[in-house]
Structure 1
Amino acid sequence: MFSSTRTFITRFEDLPNEIIYEIFDILDFCSTYEIFSNLNRRFHQILVLSTLSIKIDISLISKPTFRRHYKQIIMPNKHRINLLHLSNPFIVDLFFPSSQIISKFRRLETLIIDTTTTTKLANLLKQLTKLPNLSSLTIIHRNCLYNINDLYLQIFRLPALKYCKLLLSENSNYGSLPMSVSETSPIEHLVIKNKFCLNELNALLSYVPKLRYLALNHLYSLPDEQTKSFSSSLNDLTHFSMRNSRILFNELELLAKHFFHRLQIFHISTYFDVSFLNANHWERLILSYMPNLIVFDFMHTNSLNDTTQLKYENLIQQFQSSFWFERQWFFTYTFY
């Protein structure tokens, strides 16, 4: 006869440390700390004496609660924080009464901030250069930046940055970003969600030669300042996204000629320029400059009336040729 025994875990504290770590990693650290740190010696050791990294995410919170968390939990554990997400603009000012404080977060790898204070942001970026492990930066800035180029330059000086996402409000008279002579950034993944002018793109890309992923959500061109050439190079670019783009097809062709030879994934949405609906133009562009393209995601929006609808239907039908079927790229359209 064989006998077997089974152990059933009926209490949370009976879970092994490895599982506890996984659970605490999912939960908000400040709340977890307040609930469990004084529950028993084991949880106190896990939360207070551990060297494991922690994530801090602060959004909706009262000032008294924030001040308590800041003093009792965040600052005593600043050496363990590897992710800091401050999605409340008013909390940013409270979190960094002095911009030098951020340099004490030596383990920080990811910083996400939503701020309204231009001076605070500029000073903060200068201190970020002292963080050797900061590899991911997201900035949302809702007030006017009178010199957005200074902000770009400060970001490009961050020594370990690989991922950068920006949503900025800028003054229209901020001048041109200078071309990089020798200064380059290690950024590989760049997302710019604010408006960006095509004639500034060459200078911007001169700072980020290692880009693999580029997303420009509001790329536009000026009719009296058309871009004629690019001197920067992106030999590793495989993913390019252009949402809400307002450039001409011949300007896109210029981009493709210089940057798209290794491109595998291309997302683009455009408005009004009917040349984007010329399937022959697309076939020539892809065959000439995008030989490695796998994913082609294209959306075009335009204004129609009864007399132009048939014209557009005929243009769209051109995308039903063998060129598109062989690549398993299929198109749908809607008139409304």
Structure 2
Amino acid sequence: MTFLSCRRNSMALLKLYDLESLVIHQIPTPTDQDTSISNVKKNKQNEWKTDTSLSKTRFEDLPNELLLFIFQFLPIIRLQRAFYNLNSRLNTICYSQEFKLDLTSLKPEFDYYCSSTQPFVSQIYSLKLSDEYDRLQLFNRNIDISRFDHLRAITIRKVSTENLDQILSKLHLLTELSYLNIYDALIQSPHITTALFSIRSLKCLILYSCDPIVLNFTDNTICPWTKLEYLESNHFYMTNFLELIKYVGPNVKRMKIHIDYKRREDPASIDEQIINNLLSGDGGRFEIPISLNRLFMSFNYLSLTDYHLVLKLFPNLRHLAFSTSTFDMNFASATIWYEFITNNLLELEKFQFYTQVTGDAAQRCPAPGLVELFNENHDKWIKGPVIMNYNHALKPPTLEVYTYPLPTYNGKYYAELYGNETYISTKRNIMDIDDNAKVLRITLNDNNNEQLTLLNQNKMNYPKVTTIRLHSQMTEMARENDSINSLICTDLAMHFADLSKISGLDITVNQPTNFNFPSRTLVRRLLCIMPKISRLSLPYNYLLDLFKSPLVIHMLKQTVNCVWITFNSDPPLLQHINVVFDAFSTKLRYLYMIVDTAFPVDNFYAVLPSILDGKCTKLSLFSLRLSKLQSTPQTFSTEFKLWLKICLTIMIKNDQKRSSTIEFNIKDSEFTAAF
């Protein structure tokens, strides 16, 4: 009660000063004896004027409309801390608001909200949750999600199966919930399927699973949704997707789906009888979403025949887009697509695609007539040009055929600076076909001098590129003072109006790692013309090589605050890691380590304490991730996870200032710590 009283008193004294009407007091001094009486009178008059002005501009005298306007810019947690229970008027104004609640933000705010009384729970319409640092255990323990009785949207990311089951089991009680987004979770439990279909008010569902989604429809109580209008998901096997179609309901208007195709889980081809049964509703047992008018699908190595069978399920499509990697050149056939669309998709208004052809079909560049055929009879569906890129410089060569503009999901996200032969179906200016690319890749080969001499007349612009990726396919050692380094930098300057907008530099090699890296001179020259590089991604052994150049180290430590290090072969040594951290100690905020080789446990016993002990004073996130070796994922041993937990617990106890802000999470193949 004392604390509350103090807050109320402080609120009463909060005033908005009008600087123009505020008269500064003039204090009489001993040297001005003759004017002291006059000054005293003036001071009293000024005090009266000042008090009168201040009394008219107290915070609580602001109109309700202005307070409502101010409060809508404050996060609910800060609003609750600052204004709740100050007086009944402010409480009434707070209770008249609608709020978004984001519990994925700073740990002190999360801890405060979970330990408070949550007075505005009925005013919350949007909720974001994360289990990245085991937060959902505390959330489930302290908060009953069914109390959010006016919740309309919820996003849950990086959640364990157990905690996801617990939250989903109560969502059917939220009768106004229309939007559900589950991101980076394992969606395979039968309980998840049952819980999802028990939410009858859903209109929008987004599912992103870290492994293929497996929905179990053996429960006879599962009924199709009746209000769902939008479905987005990744990682469906085709058989499971075709089963899901029976339950999404008849009102779905838009879908964005990625299909995983593996012969162990899917048959060699789709049985046409399955499609016919779906179209007939299997005797009235279900209704497929024939009202679907927008569909985007991405998939790899699905046959064109099977894809056409799937599309027959949706005869009312008005917008169709797809993205694929394939061995089949028929995906880029104007004749085949014209015949299929005119016979099966009579309502189609817009058609977009991105096709990357691999294998034997990509060994030679097809004739330009491949894209020129799209000029005939396709204007009704394809509004822009069709483009073909053939890049002979890559190993293996790549062939891309795509519409412009590109599909907005999972399509062509990077452009190649060198080696492209480009053909276009219309006379449209070719300068802007890569204007949506975010990454520009520079592929280095042993014969780059010849390529650059022939192809440096390319005048394309890349207005949205923020990352340059150096990709090495060189089998010969790079020469430090080769003229090619200057030529690459000159070519880059031709394609960008302002290279200071480039914020990321990635350095990669072909796998396996028997190729040589670019020269240090090239990296130094790139850093000179791109002065605001803040994110660096590269293999560990090349990072050590760059540190042989004091000038490169000096340039990197001035701007880089995010580093991704991949361990392909060489394990980290403590003395080398300390040199790296000494260089980045004042700027580094985000550090990611990806282990692509057998996890060198002994080395990380020495390295991790050095990372976590505060050597990098601004470090706010550290992540250690184990990748798959062939098809088998790596995992931390039980002993290592136990040691890591003890190490972090001791560190937190020894540093009381960070004990309230540090969070960590130890999974089977990933460790994350936030400071």
Tell me which of 283, 308, 321 is aligned to 2:338.
283
SS at match of 2:114: helix
Cα 1:235/1:113, change in 2 over 3 Å: same
Amino acid paired to 2:75: D
Amino acid paired to 1:320: N
Is the 8 Å Cα contact of residues 199 and 221 (structure 1) preserved in structure 2?
A: no
For the pair 1:200 / 2:240, whether they are aligned, the reply is: yes
Deviation at 1:326, TM superposition (A): 7.5
Cα 1:93/1:279, change in 2 over 3 Å: same
Give the stretch that moved more between structures: 269-278 or 151-160. 151-160
Deviation at 1:310, TM superposition (A): 3.1
Give the stretch that moved more between structures: 101-110 or 16-25. 16-25
Q: What pairs with 1:37-56 in structure 2 (closer than 5 Å)?
A: 37=84, 42-47=89-94, 50-56=95-101
SS at match of 2:292: coil
Residue of structure 2 in register with 1:322 after alignment: 377
Residue of structure 1 in register with 2:203 after alignment: 162
- CA offsets per residue over residues 229-286 of structure 1, 9 Å max, x none? 3233222101111134442111111012122x11111121011232201111111121
Separation in structure 2 between the aligned mates of residue 21 and residue 101 of structure 1, nearest angstrom: 28
Residue of structure 1 in register with 2:323 after alignment: 269
SS at match of 1:271: strand
Give the stretch that moved more between structures: 118-127 or 220-229. 220-229
- CA offsets per residue over residues 176-205 of structure 1, 9 Å max, x none? 645989711132111112x11112222101
SS at match of 1:97: helix
Is the 8 Å Cα contact of residues 180 and 206 (structure 1) preserved in structure 2?
A: no
Cα 1:216/1:149, change in 2 over 3 Å: farther
Separation in structure 2 between the aligned mates of residue 24 and residue 312 of structure 1, nearest angstrom: 63
> How does the TM-score come out when normalised to structure 2?
0.43
Cα 1:303/1:38, change in 2 over 3 Å: same
Cα 1:97/1:205, change in 2 over 3 Å: same
Is the 8 Å Cα contact of residues 108 and 134 (structure 1) preserved in structure 2?
A: yes
Cα 1:20/1:295, change in 2 over 3 Å: farther
Separation in structure 1 between the aligned mates of residue 320 and residue 176 of structure 2, nearest angstrom: 31
Residue of structure 1 in register with 2:293 after alignment: 238
For the pair 1:293 / 2:330, whether they are aligned, the reply is: no
SS at match of 1:319: helix
Separation in structure 2 between the aligned mates of residue 129 and residue 325 of structure 1, nearest angstrom: 44
For the pair 1:71 / 2:111, whether they are aligned, the reply is: no
Q: How large is the Cα RMSD of the aligned pairs?
A: 3.2
> What residue ranges of structure 1 are gaps of 5+ in the alignment?
1-9
Deviation at 1:82, TM superposition (A): 1.2
Deviation at 1:103, TM superposition (A): 1.4
Tell me which of 136, 139, 144 is aligned to 1:92.
136
Identical-pair percentage: 23
Separation in structure 1 between the aligned mates of residue 337 and residue 260 of structure 2, nearest angstrom: 19
Is the 8 Å Cα contact of residues 321 and 352 (structure 2) preserved in structure 1?
A: yes
SS at match of 2:177: coil
**Higher gyration radius (CA):** 2
For the pair 1:215 / 2:260, whether they are aligned, the reply is: no
For the pair 1:152 / 2:196, whether they are aligned, the reply is: no
Q: What pairs with 1:106-121 in structure 2 (closer than 5 Å)?
A: 106-121=149-164
Deviation at 1:87, TM superposition (A): 3.8
Is the 8 Å Cα contact of residues 219 and 244 (structure 1) preserved in structure 2?
A: yes
SS at match of 2:169: helix
Separation in structure 2 between the aligned mates of residue 151 and residue 328 of structure 1, nearest angstrom: 41
Residue of structure 2 in register with 1:258 after alignment: 313
Is the 8 Å Cα contact of residues 212 and 236 (structure 2) preserved in structure 1?
A: no
> What residue ranges of structure 2 are gaps of 5+ in the alignment?
1-56, 279-287, 392-675
Is the 8 Å Cα contact of residues 219 and 242 (structure 1) preserved in structure 2?
A: no
Say how many residue pairs are matched: 317
For the pair 1:136 / 2:176, whether they are aligned, the reply is: no
Is the 8 Å Cα contact of residues 85 and 112 (structure 1) preserved in structure 2?
A: yes
Deviation at 1:111, TM superposition (A): 0.7
Amino acid paired to 1:234: P
Residue of structure 1 in register with 2:223 after alignment: 183
Is the 8 Å Cα contact of residues 350 and 380 (structure 2) preserved in structure 1?
A: no
Cα 1:295/1:27, change in 2 over 3 Å: farther
